[in-house]
Protein backbone atom coordinates (compact mmCIF):
# COMPACT_ATOMS: atom_id res chain seq x y z
CA UNK A 1 0.00 0.00 0.00
CA UNK A 2 1.24 3.48 -0.81
CA UNK A 3 2.34 5.32 2.35
CA UNK A 4 2.75 9.08 2.49
CA UNK A 5 4.97 10.76 5.07
CA UNK A 6 3.38 13.95 6.33
CA UNK A 7 4.96 16.41 8.75
CA UNK A 8 2.41 18.13 10.97
CA UNK A 9 3.28 21.63 12.16
CA UNK A 10 0.38 22.29 14.51
CA UNK A 11 1.79 25.60 15.76
CA UNK A 12 -0.05 27.85 18.19
CA UNK A 13 -3.51 29.01 19.22
CA UNK A 14 -6.20 27.05 17.38
CA UNK A 15 -3.50 25.32 15.28
CA UNK A 16 -3.51 22.00 17.21
CA UNK A 17 -7.35 21.79 17.32
CA UNK A 18 -7.86 22.37 13.61
CA UNK A 19 -4.95 20.17 12.49
CA UNK A 20 -6.38 17.31 14.60
CA UNK A 21 -9.65 17.54 12.67
CA UNK A 22 -7.83 17.62 9.33
CA UNK A 23 -5.87 14.49 10.34
CA UNK A 24 -9.15 12.78 11.24
CA UNK A 25 -10.48 13.51 7.74
CA UNK A 26 -7.21 12.54 6.02
CA UNK A 27 -7.21 9.19 7.86
CA UNK A 28 -10.79 8.56 6.72
CA UNK A 29 -9.79 9.39 3.13
CA UNK A 30 -6.78 7.05 3.40
CA UNK A 31 -9.03 4.16 4.47
CA UNK A 32 -11.54 4.85 1.75
CA UNK A 33 -9.08 5.34 -1.11
CA UNK A 34 -6.50 2.72 -0.17
CA UNK A 35 -3.39 4.56 0.96
CA UNK A 36 -1.65 4.99 4.32
CA UNK A 37 -0.34 8.09 6.05
CA UNK A 38 2.57 8.26 8.45
CA UNK A 39 2.70 11.43 10.55
CA UNK A 40 5.63 13.19 12.18
CA UNK A 41 4.97 16.16 14.43
CA UNK A 42 7.46 19.02 14.50
CA UNK A 43 7.61 22.37 16.27
CA UNK A 44 7.17 25.82 14.74
CA UNK A 45 6.28 29.31 15.94
CA UNK A 46 5.58 30.08 19.58
CA UNK A 47 5.49 26.40 20.55
CA UNK A 48 9.00 26.01 19.13
CA UNK A 49 10.23 29.16 20.89
CA UNK A 50 8.99 27.82 24.23
CA UNK A 51 10.61 24.43 23.71
CA UNK A 52 13.88 25.36 21.97
CA UNK A 53 14.29 29.15 22.03
CA UNK A 54 13.84 29.58 18.28
CA UNK A 55 10.76 29.68 16.00
CA UNK A 56 12.13 27.22 13.43
CA UNK A 57 14.43 24.52 14.86
CA UNK A 58 16.64 22.70 12.34
CA UNK A 59 14.91 19.43 13.29
CA UNK A 60 11.66 20.87 11.90
CA UNK A 61 13.28 21.81 8.59
CA UNK A 62 14.86 18.35 8.35
CA UNK A 63 11.55 16.62 9.05
CA UNK A 64 9.73 18.70 6.41
CA UNK A 65 12.45 18.06 3.81
CA UNK A 66 12.17 14.31 4.43
CA UNK A 67 8.36 14.35 3.98
CA UNK A 68 6.02 14.00 1.04
CA UNK A 69 4.12 17.02 2.28
CA UNK A 70 3.61 19.39 5.21
CA UNK A 71 0.40 20.46 6.94
CA UNK A 72 0.56 23.62 9.05
CA UNK A 73 -2.01 25.00 11.51
CA UNK A 74 -1.02 28.57 12.37
CA UNK A 75 1.58 30.42 14.41
CA UNK A 76 1.61 33.35 16.80
CA UNK A 77 -0.18 34.57 19.89
CA UNK A 78 -0.27 37.18 22.68
CA UNK A 79 2.45 35.41 24.65
CA UNK A 80 5.10 36.12 21.98
CA UNK A 81 3.87 39.58 20.89
CA UNK A 82 6.77 41.28 22.69
CA UNK A 83 9.43 39.52 20.59
CA UNK A 84 10.97 41.21 17.57
CA UNK A 85 12.25 40.30 14.11
CA UNK A 86 13.74 36.84 13.73
CA UNK A 87 12.68 35.91 17.28
CA UNK A 88 8.96 36.19 16.40
CA UNK A 89 6.79 33.12 15.72
CA UNK A 90 6.03 34.41 12.18
CA UNK A 91 9.75 34.20 11.36
CA UNK A 92 9.29 30.43 11.54
CA UNK A 93 6.73 30.64 8.77
CA UNK A 94 8.89 32.73 6.43
CA UNK A 95 11.85 30.49 7.30
CA UNK A 96 10.13 27.22 6.44
CA UNK A 97 8.85 28.60 3.11
CA UNK A 98 12.40 29.65 2.21
CA UNK A 99 13.99 26.40 3.45
CA UNK A 100 11.62 24.33 1.31
CA UNK A 101 12.09 26.56 -1.76
CA UNK A 102 8.38 27.31 -2.02
CA UNK A 103 7.99 29.93 -4.75
CA UNK A 104 4.33 29.46 -5.70
CA UNK A 105 1.40 30.31 -3.48
CA UNK A 106 -2.00 28.92 -4.47
CA UNK A 107 -5.00 30.53 -2.85
CA UNK A 108 -8.46 29.39 -3.83
CA UNK A 109 -11.38 31.73 -3.20
CA UNK A 110 -14.53 29.70 -3.38
CA UNK A 111 -18.07 30.49 -2.35
CA UNK A 112 -20.07 27.47 -1.26
CA UNK A 113 -23.77 27.67 -2.18
CA UNK A 114 -25.02 27.43 1.42
CA UNK A 115 -22.64 30.24 2.51
CA UNK A 116 -23.55 32.71 -0.22
CA UNK A 117 -24.87 35.19 2.32
CA UNK A 118 -21.27 35.68 3.60
CA UNK A 119 -20.30 37.20 0.24
CA UNK A 120 -20.34 41.01 0.28
CA UNK A 121 -21.28 41.19 -3.44
CA UNK A 122 -24.86 41.16 -4.75
CA UNK A 123 -26.29 37.66 -5.39
CA UNK A 124 -26.77 38.41 -9.10
CA UNK A 125 -23.03 39.15 -9.44
CA UNK A 126 -22.04 35.86 -7.83
CA UNK A 127 -24.67 33.67 -9.50
CA UNK A 128 -24.64 30.03 -8.43
CA UNK A 129 -21.06 29.96 -7.22
CA UNK A 130 -17.59 31.45 -7.46
CA UNK A 131 -14.43 29.37 -7.65
CA UNK A 132 -11.17 31.21 -8.31
CA UNK A 133 -7.56 30.16 -7.83
CA UNK A 134 -4.90 32.85 -7.43
CA UNK A 135 -1.38 31.59 -8.22
CA UNK A 136 1.02 34.11 -6.72
CA UNK A 137 4.80 34.23 -7.19
CA UNK A 138 6.17 34.16 -3.65
CA UNK A 139 9.93 34.63 -3.56
CA UNK A 140 10.75 37.29 -6.16
CA UNK A 141 9.69 40.71 -7.39
CA UNK A 142 9.65 43.98 -5.50
CA UNK A 143 9.57 42.39 -2.02
CA UNK A 144 13.01 40.90 -2.66
CA UNK A 145 14.53 43.34 -5.22
CA UNK A 146 17.21 45.94 -4.60
CA UNK A 147 16.04 48.62 -2.19
CA UNK A 148 17.41 51.55 -0.35
CA UNK A 149 17.30 55.12 0.77
CA UNK A 150 19.36 58.02 -0.47
CA UNK A 151 19.51 61.76 -0.44
CA UNK A 152 19.54 63.43 -3.84
CA UNK A 153 20.27 67.16 -3.92
CA UNK A 154 19.33 67.35 -0.25
CA UNK A 155 16.00 65.55 -0.77
CA UNK A 156 15.38 62.26 1.01
CA UNK A 157 14.25 59.39 -1.26
CA UNK A 158 13.60 55.64 -1.10
CA UNK A 159 13.33 52.97 -3.77
CA UNK A 160 12.35 49.31 -4.26
CA UNK A 161 12.94 47.35 -7.44
CA UNK A 162 10.56 45.03 -9.24
CA UNK A 163 12.97 42.45 -10.69
CA UNK A 164 12.05 39.17 -12.38
CA UNK A 165 14.32 36.80 -14.27
CA UNK A 166 12.88 34.71 -17.08
CA UNK A 167 13.37 31.41 -15.16
CA UNK A 168 11.45 32.86 -12.20
CA UNK A 169 8.53 33.74 -14.48
CA UNK A 170 8.72 30.44 -16.31
CA UNK A 171 8.48 28.34 -13.16
CA UNK A 172 5.50 30.22 -11.70
CA UNK A 173 3.75 30.23 -15.08
CA UNK A 174 4.29 26.48 -15.31
CA UNK A 175 2.56 25.99 -11.95
CA UNK A 176 -0.30 28.19 -13.18
CA UNK A 177 -0.71 26.33 -16.49
CA UNK A 178 -0.64 22.97 -14.70
CA UNK A 179 -3.19 24.25 -12.18
CA UNK A 180 -5.45 25.46 -14.98
CA UNK A 181 -5.19 21.99 -16.57
CA UNK A 182 -6.40 20.44 -13.28
CA UNK A 183 -9.30 22.93 -13.11
CA UNK A 184 -11.38 24.76 -15.72
CA UNK A 185 -8.63 25.28 -18.34
CA UNK A 186 -8.76 29.08 -18.21
CA UNK A 187 -5.80 31.27 -17.20
CA UNK A 188 -5.66 35.04 -16.68
CA UNK A 189 -2.13 36.42 -16.44
CA UNK A 190 -2.04 39.70 -14.51
CA UNK A 191 0.57 42.38 -15.22
CA UNK A 192 1.14 46.06 -15.91
CA UNK A 193 2.77 45.58 -19.30
CA UNK A 194 1.63 49.00 -20.52
CA UNK A 195 4.05 50.59 -18.04
CA UNK A 196 6.52 48.11 -16.52
CA UNK A 197 9.40 46.42 -18.34
CA UNK A 198 9.30 43.49 -15.90
CA UNK A 199 5.64 43.00 -16.85
CA UNK A 200 6.52 42.96 -20.54
CA UNK A 201 8.95 40.09 -19.90
CA UNK A 202 6.24 38.44 -17.78
CA UNK A 203 3.68 38.67 -20.61
CA UNK A 204 6.15 37.50 -23.33
CA UNK A 205 7.13 34.49 -21.21
CA UNK A 206 3.53 33.48 -20.49
CA UNK A 207 2.72 33.79 -24.21
CA UNK A 208 5.70 31.62 -25.18
CA UNK A 209 4.63 28.95 -22.71
CA UNK A 210 1.04 29.01 -23.92
CA UNK A 211 2.16 27.10 -27.02
CA UNK A 212 2.95 24.08 -24.82
CA UNK A 213 -0.51 24.18 -23.23
CA UNK A 214 -2.96 24.38 -26.14
CA UNK A 215 -5.78 23.13 -23.87
CA UNK A 216 -5.51 26.25 -21.70
CA UNK A 217 -7.23 29.47 -22.76
CA UNK A 218 -4.89 32.37 -21.91
CA UNK A 219 -5.96 35.97 -21.31
CA UNK A 220 -3.91 38.97 -20.15
CA UNK A 221 -5.23 41.68 -17.86
CA UNK A 222 -3.62 44.78 -16.42
CA UNK A 223 -3.63 44.69 -12.63
CA UNK A 224 -5.91 47.72 -12.30
CA UNK A 225 -8.48 46.15 -14.61
CA UNK A 226 -8.13 42.78 -12.82
CA UNK A 227 -8.86 44.38 -9.44
CA UNK A 228 -11.96 45.95 -10.96
CA UNK A 229 -13.13 42.83 -12.83
CA UNK A 230 -12.80 40.74 -9.68
CA UNK A 231 -15.64 42.64 -8.01
CA UNK A 232 -17.55 43.41 -11.22
CA UNK A 233 -17.76 39.85 -12.56
CA UNK A 234 -15.75 37.29 -10.54
CA UNK A 235 -17.44 34.38 -12.34
CA UNK A 236 -15.31 35.02 -15.45
CA UNK A 237 -12.16 33.83 -13.62
CA UNK A 238 -10.73 30.36 -13.13
CA UNK A 239 -6.96 30.66 -12.49
CA UNK A 240 -5.07 33.95 -12.13
CA UNK A 241 -1.26 34.09 -12.20
CA UNK A 242 0.46 37.10 -10.70
CA UNK A 243 3.73 38.56 -9.51
CA UNK A 244 4.38 38.68 -5.77
CA UNK A 245 2.98 42.15 -5.08
CA UNK A 246 -0.01 41.94 -7.42
CA UNK A 247 -0.92 38.53 -5.97
CA UNK A 248 -0.61 39.81 -2.42
CA UNK A 249 -3.34 42.33 -3.15
CA UNK A 250 -5.58 40.29 -5.47
CA UNK A 251 -5.61 37.16 -3.29
CA UNK A 252 -6.82 39.20 -0.31
CA UNK A 253 -9.45 40.87 -2.47
CA UNK A 254 -10.61 37.46 -3.73
CA UNK A 255 -10.71 36.01 -0.20
CA UNK A 256 -12.93 38.87 0.97
CA UNK A 257 -15.35 38.11 -1.85
CA UNK A 258 -15.52 34.53 -0.57
CA UNK A 259 -16.47 35.98 2.80
CA UNK A 260 -15.47 33.53 5.52
CA UNK A 261 -11.86 33.43 6.71
CA UNK A 262 -12.43 30.04 8.37
CA UNK A 263 -13.15 28.42 4.98
CA UNK A 264 -10.08 29.33 2.92
CA UNK A 265 -7.16 26.99 2.29
CA UNK A 266 -3.78 27.60 0.69
CA UNK A 267 -0.82 25.77 -0.76
CA UNK A 268 2.79 26.80 -1.20
CA UNK A 269 4.68 24.81 -3.81
CA UNK A 270 8.24 24.49 -5.06
CA UNK A 271 9.95 22.68 -7.94
CA UNK A 272 9.17 19.16 -6.71
CA UNK A 273 5.99 17.70 -5.31
CA UNK A 274 6.72 18.75 -1.70
CA UNK A 275 4.28 21.45 -0.61
CA UNK A 276 3.20 23.30 2.51
CA UNK A 277 -0.54 23.42 3.09
CA UNK A 278 -2.25 25.73 5.55
CA UNK A 279 -5.41 27.71 6.18
CA UNK A 280 -5.09 31.41 5.27
CA UNK A 281 -6.26 32.54 8.71
CA UNK A 282 -4.01 33.00 11.74
CA UNK A 283 -3.86 31.30 15.12
CA UNK A 284 -7.00 33.06 16.44
CA UNK A 285 -5.73 33.24 20.04
CA UNK A 286 -9.03 34.87 21.05
CA UNK A 287 -10.90 31.56 20.57
CA UNK A 288 -8.10 28.99 21.10
CA UNK A 289 -8.83 25.93 23.24
CA UNK A 290 -12.61 26.44 23.29
CA UNK A 291 -13.60 23.92 20.62
CA UNK A 292 -15.31 26.63 18.53
CA UNK A 293 -12.75 27.24 15.75
CA UNK A 294 -13.74 26.36 12.19
CA UNK A 295 -11.53 23.47 10.98
CA UNK A 296 -12.82 23.54 7.39
CA UNK A 297 -10.01 25.71 5.95
CA UNK A 298 -7.49 23.18 7.29
CA UNK A 299 -9.55 20.23 6.05
CA UNK A 300 -9.72 21.89 2.62
CA UNK A 301 -5.94 22.40 2.81
CA UNK A 302 -5.66 18.61 3.09
CA UNK A 303 -7.75 18.30 -0.07
CA UNK A 304 -5.28 20.63 -1.81
CA UNK A 305 -2.39 18.51 -0.52
CA UNK A 306 -3.97 15.39 -1.99
CA UNK A 307 -4.47 17.15 -5.33
CA UNK A 308 -1.21 19.08 -5.75
CA UNK A 309 1.40 17.04 -3.85
CA UNK A 310 0.14 13.46 -3.60
CA UNK A 311 -1.82 13.19 -6.84
CA UNK A 312 -4.75 11.51 -5.05
CA UNK A 313 -7.32 13.40 -7.09
CA UNK A 314 -10.31 11.24 -6.19
CA UNK A 315 -9.66 11.64 -2.48
CA UNK A 316 -9.24 15.41 -2.94
CA UNK A 317 -12.57 15.69 -4.76
CA UNK A 318 -14.28 13.52 -2.16
CA UNK A 319 -13.12 15.70 0.76
CA UNK A 320 -14.31 18.87 -0.99
CA UNK A 321 -17.63 17.20 -1.72
CA UNK A 322 -17.93 16.06 1.93
CA UNK A 323 -17.41 19.67 3.10
CA UNK A 324 -20.17 20.81 0.74
CA UNK A 325 -22.48 18.07 2.00
CA UNK A 326 -21.94 19.07 5.62
CA UNK A 327 -22.74 22.69 4.77
CA UNK A 328 -25.79 21.67 2.78
CA UNK A 329 -26.93 19.68 5.83
CA UNK A 330 -26.95 22.94 7.77
CA UNK A 331 -24.00 22.26 10.10
CA UNK A 332 -21.97 25.34 11.02
CA UNK A 333 -19.22 26.40 13.39
CA UNK A 334 -19.87 29.70 15.21
CA UNK A 335 -18.02 31.89 12.66
CA UNK A 336 -20.30 30.87 9.77
CA UNK A 337 -23.49 30.30 11.80
CA UNK A 338 -26.71 31.91 10.59
CA UNK A 339 -30.23 31.53 11.93
CA UNK A 340 -31.88 28.30 10.93
CA UNK A 341 -28.63 26.32 10.83
CA UNK A 342 -27.14 24.08 13.55
CA UNK A 343 -24.16 25.37 15.50
CA UNK A 344 -21.55 22.70 16.30
CA UNK A 345 -18.00 22.66 17.69
CA UNK A 346 -14.60 22.07 16.09
CA UNK A 347 -14.54 18.36 16.93
CA UNK A 348 -18.10 17.74 15.75
CA UNK A 349 -17.36 19.51 12.46
CA UNK A 350 -14.36 17.21 11.89
CA UNK A 351 -16.55 14.20 12.72
CA UNK A 352 -19.28 15.40 10.36
CA UNK A 353 -16.89 15.80 7.40
CA UNK A 354 -15.32 12.40 8.11
CA UNK A 355 -18.80 10.84 8.27
CA UNK A 356 -19.89 12.54 5.02
CA UNK A 357 -16.72 11.20 3.39
P1 LIG B 1 -6.53 35.54 12.77
O2 LIG B 1 -6.77 35.07 11.41
O3 LIG B 1 -5.87 34.63 13.71
O4 LIG B 1 -7.92 35.99 13.43
C5 LIG B 1 -8.76 37.01 12.90
C6 LIG B 1 -10.20 36.79 13.40
O7 LIG B 1 -10.75 35.68 12.72
C8 LIG B 1 -10.27 36.47 14.89
O9 LIG B 1 -11.42 37.05 15.43
C10 LIG B 1 -10.38 34.97 14.94
O11 LIG B 1 -11.06 34.47 16.06
C12 LIG B 1 -11.14 34.68 13.64
N13 LIG B 1 -10.75 33.37 13.07
C14 LIG B 1 -9.59 33.07 12.44
N15 LIG B 1 -9.56 31.80 12.07
C16 LIG B 1 -10.72 31.25 12.49
C17 LIG B 1 -11.29 29.96 12.43
N18 LIG B 1 -10.64 28.92 11.85
N19 LIG B 1 -12.51 29.76 12.96
C20 LIG B 1 -13.18 30.76 13.55
N21 LIG B 1 -12.72 32.02 13.64
C22 LIG B 1 -11.49 32.26 13.12
O23 LIG B 1 -5.71 36.90 12.62
P24 LIG B 1 -5.12 37.89 13.74
O25 LIG B 1 -6.08 37.99 14.88
O26 LIG B 1 -4.71 39.11 13.02
O27 LIG B 1 -3.79 37.18 14.24
C28 LIG B 1 -3.71 36.31 15.38
C29 LIG B 1 -2.32 35.70 15.43
O30 LIG B 1 -2.14 34.89 14.28
C31 LIG B 1 -1.19 36.73 15.40
O32 LIG B 1 -0.18 36.30 16.26
C33 LIG B 1 -0.75 36.72 13.96
O34 LIG B 1 0.59 37.12 13.81
C35 LIG B 1 -0.93 35.27 13.59
N36 LIG B 1 -1.12 34.98 12.16
C37 LIG B 1 -0.60 33.81 11.73
C38 LIG B 1 -0.79 33.43 10.42
C39 LIG B 1 -0.25 32.10 9.99
O40 LIG B 1 0.16 31.31 10.82
N41 LIG B 1 -0.26 31.79 8.70
C42 LIG B 1 -1.52 34.24 9.54
C43 LIG B 1 -2.08 35.42 10.03
C44 LIG B 1 -1.88 35.78 11.36
pLDDT of 130 above 90: no
Confidence of residue 127 (pLDDT cuts 50, 70, 90): confident
Query: Is 141 touching ligand 1 by the criterion CB < 6 Å?
Result: no
pTM, whole model, 2 decimals?
0.92
**30-44, 45-59, 108-122, 277-291: the lowest-pLDDT one:** 108-122
Q: Ligand 1 centre and the CA of 298: distance in Å?
A: 13
Q: Ligand 1 pocket check: which of 77, 284, 285, 337 to mutate, most ligand atoms within 8 Å of Cβ?
A: 284
Ligand 1 atom at minimum distance from 281 CA:
2
Quick check: 237 and 208 in contact, CB under 8 A? no
Confidence of residue 86 (pLDDT cuts 50, 70, 90): confident
Q: How far apart are CA 243 and CA 200, in angstroms?
A: 12
Confidence of residue 144 (pLDDT cuts 50, 70, 90): confident
> Residue of the nearest CA to atom 42 in ligand 1?
282
Q: How far apart are CA 15 and CA 303, in angstroms?
A: 17
Domains of the chain: 1-118+261-357 (3.40.718.10), 120-132+139-257 (3.40.718.10)
- For all residues of the chain together, what is the average pLDDT? 95
> Residue of the nearest CA to atom 11 in ligand 1?
284
> Rounded to the nearest 10 degrees, what angle do helices 15-33 and 346-356 cross at?
10
Q: Ligand 1 centre and the CA of 281: distance in Å?
A: 5
Amino acid 117: pLDDT? 84
Amino acid 334: pLDDT? 94
Q: b/e for 299-330, b at 16 or more Cβ within 10 A?
A: bbbbbbbbbbbbebeebbebbbebbbebbeee
Using a pLDDT cut of 90, give the percent of the chain over it.
Answer: 89
> Residue of the nearest CA to atom 27 in ligand 1?
282
Amino acid sequence: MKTYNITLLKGDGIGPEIVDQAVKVLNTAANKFGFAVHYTEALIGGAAIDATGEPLPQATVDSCLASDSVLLGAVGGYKWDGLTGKQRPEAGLLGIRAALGLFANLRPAKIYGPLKSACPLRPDIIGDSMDIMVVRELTGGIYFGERGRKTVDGVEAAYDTEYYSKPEITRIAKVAFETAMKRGGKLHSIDKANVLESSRLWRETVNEMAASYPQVEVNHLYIDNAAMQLVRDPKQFDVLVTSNIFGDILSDEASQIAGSIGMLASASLGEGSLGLYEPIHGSAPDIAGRNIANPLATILSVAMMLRYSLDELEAADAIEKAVETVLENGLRTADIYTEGTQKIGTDAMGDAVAAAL
